[in-house]
């Protein structure tokens, strides 16, 4: 029944034996005690479980741990090694981008993925069809579209957008907003 | 979740053999739909054959200028590929219209085609559903029908296919490469998905054990323009009420701009991506005017048989078709007033 899986979680190697039904989220929380990713809907709809797997943001609730042998997983905890906050963490604090905080680790991982995807010139549906290799500027529209897989029941969206923009190095003061 | 065995496939033929010999075995690709279904109890396989290590994650150029997209290419990678963005912006837009950033990073080309309907009754094992439990009845008829079919449905099932990507592939006339126990076959993507008829449990023409290994895109026809537009209940991360993928080939040198050919597919309206063949026939050789587009859209939607609660989708599909074709023809913005004939 048990399958061996080697995972590197937040920089630490782990050898686990898992039932194939175990999701990465349950492996992290129940097997390894890493409570950073949260279980919100457990169906890929809320984004609270978002982690970075080999650099890509994914819903850990929809991944079977057994299929990830050899993967490197980063949680929001791992993005702040030894408690040293990343620019994204700091921006969430400075912009007051959360209330209860339950969705925040998923938001942080997702937003960290968004920064990388935009820097790599990967389009969203609100990006112009025009093709070039240039990094994509994270306007408010781009951030809202790219972060749509992360729900916040407290409704901190306005400040989450500001935090992602701050972390992206955009000047929130000079960025035009219509609201 | 019921227990199951797990095996990692080393090559496509081995994967096919492993699934073909076990009636309740199935493939695991990105898992975004399957793992959800395991949790919901919609499906209970006794073996998962993991395709994650197969060498099917590349996009290769074909001798004819087309592209061969491996079945394990992730939706986000396909949408970002510069060749796809340049030659088939409609496909890139369709992919990026679907799901969320996280899901697109996991979902695969093959899995996207084979995802199941999001009919709320199909996804709820406590309700009758002919697709999930053949012969048990259809709970959607007389129920919540906002996301259900207006074209090609049957008394047994009014579910819709949820994919955006498949709608664009239908308008592109893409080809699906399938490896089965008897070898490799090639199926036009427009023939992959079935209408429900009296066997709604069968989404596609594939047999148990068949494995999609690639999708082939034809070379872009020069001078054509294409786009994808999706109408949904919220601005992002929602399934289509109606979507339209269209490729328009115009003759700009004619005295009056004329449609050489149009290829149009509708999403959110049927059990399969719906190629609008009637509209296409009417448009071939017709002047590229709003009037032509209205006539073609009306002819296509004449076949519509909405049920109580989704009548609005007939008007919506007509309007979006006209609006998309007008955009591709460069006719500028003009609101399509809903008009009931």
In tens, the pLDDT along B239-270 reads 999 999 999 999 978 788 999 999 999 999 99
Q: B27-84: per-residue pLDDT in tens?
A: 999 999 999 999 999 999 999 999 999 999 999 999 999 999 999 999 999 999 999 9
The ranges assigned to domains in chain A are: 3-75, 81-167
- Give the mean model confidence (pLDDT) for residues B308-312: 98
Q: Which residues 225-264 of B have a C-beta within 8 angstroms of A?
A: 235-237
What is the nearest CA distance from B336 to chain A, expressed in angstroms?
A: 23
Residue of chain A whose alpha carbon sits nearest to that of B107: A58
Q: Which residues 50-109 of A have a C-beta within 8 angstroms of B?
A: 50, 56-59, 61-64, 66-67
CA-CA distances (angstroms) from residue B101 to A32, A123, A168, A178, B267?
26, 11, 17, 25, 21
Contact A44/B at CB under 8 A: yes
What pLDDT does residue A171 have?
A: 34
Instruction: Determine the length of chain B.
Output: 341
**Predicted confidence (pLDDT) at residue B325 exceeds the cutoff of 80:** yes
* The domains spanning A3-75 and A81-167 adopt the same CATH topology: no
What pLDDT does residue A132 have?
A: 76
Sign of CA dihedral B126, B132, B135, B139: positive
- The token pair at B338 is 């809903």
Instruction: Give the full edge-to-edge strand order of the sheet including A50-53.
Output: A12-18, A3-9, A72-74, A50-53, A56-59
Q: What is the mean pLDDT of chain B?
A: 96
Q: Is B101 within 8 Å of A117 when comparing Cβ atoms?
A: yes
Q: Which residues pair with B69 in a beta bridge?
A: B59, B215
Let me know: does B56 contact B214? Beta carbons within 8 Å. yes
Map tokens 């080999």 to a residue.
A54
Let me know: does B119 contact B182? Beta carbons within 8 Å. no
Q: Is A148 within 8 Å of B32 when comparing Cβ atoms?
A: no
Map tokens 């587009």 to a residue.
B293
What pLDDT does residue B332 have?
A: 74
What pLDDT does residue A48 have?
A: 98
pTM of the shown model: 0.96
Q: Is A62 within 8 Å of B31 when comparing Cβ atoms?
A: yes
The 8 Å CB, 24+ separation contacts for B60-67 are B62/B216, B62/B219, B64/B218, B64/B219, B65/B219, B65/B220, B66/B216, B66/B217, B66/B218, B66/B219, B67/B216, B67/B217
Q: Domain A3-75 class? A: alpha beta
Q: Select the residue of A21, A59, A149 nearest B237 (Cβ to Cβ).
A: A149
Residues 6+ apart with CB under 8 A from B64: B218, B219
What is the nearest CA distance from A50 to chain B, expressed in angstroms?
A: 8
- Using DSSP's 3-state secondary structure scheme, residue B290 falls into helix
How far is B284 from A27, CA to CA, in rounded Å? 57
> What spatial distance separates the first Cα and last Cα of chain A, rounded to whole Å?
55
Instruction: Determine the length of chain A.
Output: 179
What pLDDT does residue A60 have?
A: 98
How distant is the alpha carbon of residue B65 from its chain centre? 23
Q: Which residues pair with B211 in a beta bridge?
A: B179
Q: Is B6 within 8 Å of A124 when comparing Cβ atoms?
A: no
- Give the mean model confidence (pLDDT) for residues B204-223: 96
- Using DSSP's 3-state secondary structure scheme, residue B182 falls into coil
What is the nearest CA distance from A42 to chain B, expressed in angstroms?
A: 8
Let me know: does B76 contact B165? Beta carbons within 8 Å. no
How far is B270 from B274, CA to CA, in rounded Å? 6
How far is B177 from B187, CA to CA, in rounded Å? 7
- The token pair at B106 is 């996991």
| Tens-digit pLDDT string for chain A (179 aa) | 699 999 999 999 999 999 999 999 999 999 999 999 999 999 999 999 999 999 999 999 999 999 999 999 999 999 999 999 999 999 999 999 999 999 999 999 999 999 999 999 999 999 987 777 789 999 999 999 999 999 999 999 999 999 999 999 943 333 444 43
How far is B328 from A140, CA to CA, in rounded Å? 27
Q: Is A64 within 8 Å of B35 when comparing Cβ atoms?
A: yes
Contact A131/B at CB under 8 A: yes
What pLDDT does residue A176 have?
A: 43
Q: Is A1 within 8 Å of B3 when comparing Cβ atoms?
A: yes
Q: Taking each helix axis as running N to C, give the angle between helix A104-119 and helix A87-94, from 0 to 180 degrees, rounded to the nearest 10.
A: 120
Q: Is A47 within 8 Å of B235 when comparing Cβ atoms?
A: no
Q: Select the residue of A20, A67, A125 nearest B93 (Cβ to Cβ).
A: A125
Choices 1.10.357.10, 1.10.645.10, 1.10.150.120, 3.30.830.10: CATH for A81-167: 1.10.150.120
The CA dihedral of B128, B131, B137, B141, to the nearest 10 degrees, is: 90
Of the residues A141, A149, A157, the best mutation for testing chain B's interface (the one with the most B CB atoms within 10 Å of its CB) is A149
Map tokens 């074209």 to a residue.
B151
Please list every residue in chain B whose beta carbon sits closer than 8 Å to the beta carbon of residue A146: 101
What pLDDT does residue B337 have?
A: 58
Let me know: does A162 contact A90? Beta carbons within 8 Å. no
What is the nearest CA distance from B169 to chain A, expressed in angstroms?
A: 17
How far is A118 from B105, CA to CA, in rounded Å? 14
Give the number of C-alpha atoms closer than 13 A to the C-alpha of residue B290, restricted to the C-beta side. Answer: 12
Residue of chain A whose alpha carbon sits nearest to that of B90: A129
């Amino acid at each position: 029944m048990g399958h061996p899986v080697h995972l590197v979680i937040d920089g630490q190697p782990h050898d686990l034996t898992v039932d194939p039904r175990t999701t990465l989220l349950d492996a992290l929380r129940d097997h390894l005690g890493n409570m950073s990713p949260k279980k919100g809907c457990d169906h890929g709809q809320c984004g609270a479980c978002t982690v970075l797997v080999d650099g890509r943001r994914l819903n850990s609730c929809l991944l079977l741990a057994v299929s990830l042998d050899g993967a490197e997983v980063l949680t929001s905890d791992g993005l702040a090694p030894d408690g040293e906050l990343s620019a994204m963490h700091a921006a969430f604090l400075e912009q007051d981008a959360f209330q209860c905080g339950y969705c925040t680790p998923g938001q942080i991982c997702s937003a960290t993925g968004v920064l990388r995807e935009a820097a790599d010139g990967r389009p969203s549906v609100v990006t112009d069809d025009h093709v070039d290799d240039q990094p994509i500027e994270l306007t408010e529209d781009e951030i809202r579209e790219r972060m749509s897989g992360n729900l916040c029941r407290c409704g901190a969206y306005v400040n989450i957008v500001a935090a992602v923009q701050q972390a992206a190095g955009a000047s929130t003061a000079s960025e035009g907003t219509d609201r | 979740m019921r227990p199951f065995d797990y095996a990692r496939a080393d090559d496509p033929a081995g994967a096919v053999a492993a699934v073909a010999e076990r009636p309740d075995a199935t493939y695991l690709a990105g898992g975004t739909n399957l793992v959800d279904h395991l949790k919901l109890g919609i499906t209970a396989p006794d073996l998962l054959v993991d395709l994650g290590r197969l060498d099917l994650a590349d996009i290769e150029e074909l001798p004819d200028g087309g592209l061969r997209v491996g079945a394990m290419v992730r939706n986000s990678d396909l949408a970002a590929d510069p060749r796809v963005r340049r030659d088939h912006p409609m496909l890139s837009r369709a992919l990026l219209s679907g799901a969320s950033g996280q899901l697109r990073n996991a979902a695969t080309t093959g899995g996207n085609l084979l995802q199941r309907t999001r009919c709320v009754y199909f996804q709820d094992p406590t309700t009758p559903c002919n697709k999930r439990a053949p012969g048990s009845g259809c709970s959607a008829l007389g129920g919540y029908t906002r996301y259900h079919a207006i074209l090609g449905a049957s008394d047994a099932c009014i579910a819709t296919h949820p994919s955006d990507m498949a709608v664009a592939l239908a308008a592109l006339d893409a080809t699906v490469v399938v490896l089965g126990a008897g070898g490799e076959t090639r199926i036009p993507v427009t023939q992959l998905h079935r209408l429900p008829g009296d066997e709604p449990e069968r989404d596609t023409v594939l047999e148990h054990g068949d494995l999609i290994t690639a999708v082939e895109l034809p070379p872009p026809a020069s001078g054509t323009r294409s786009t994808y537009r999706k109408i949904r209940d919220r601005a992002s991360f929602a399934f289509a009420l109606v979507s339209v993928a269209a490729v328009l080939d115009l003759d700009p040198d004619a005295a009056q701009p004329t449609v050489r050919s149009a290829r149009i597919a509708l999403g959110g309206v049927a059990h399969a991506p719906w190629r609008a063949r009637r509209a296409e026939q009417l448009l071939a050789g017709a002047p590229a005017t709003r009037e032509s587009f209205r006539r073609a859209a009306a002819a296509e939607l004449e076949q519509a048989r909405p049920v109580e609660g989704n009548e609005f989708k007939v008007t919506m599909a007509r309007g979006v078709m006209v609006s998309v074709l007008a955009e591709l023809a460069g006719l500028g913005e003009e609101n399509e007033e809903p008009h009931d004939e």
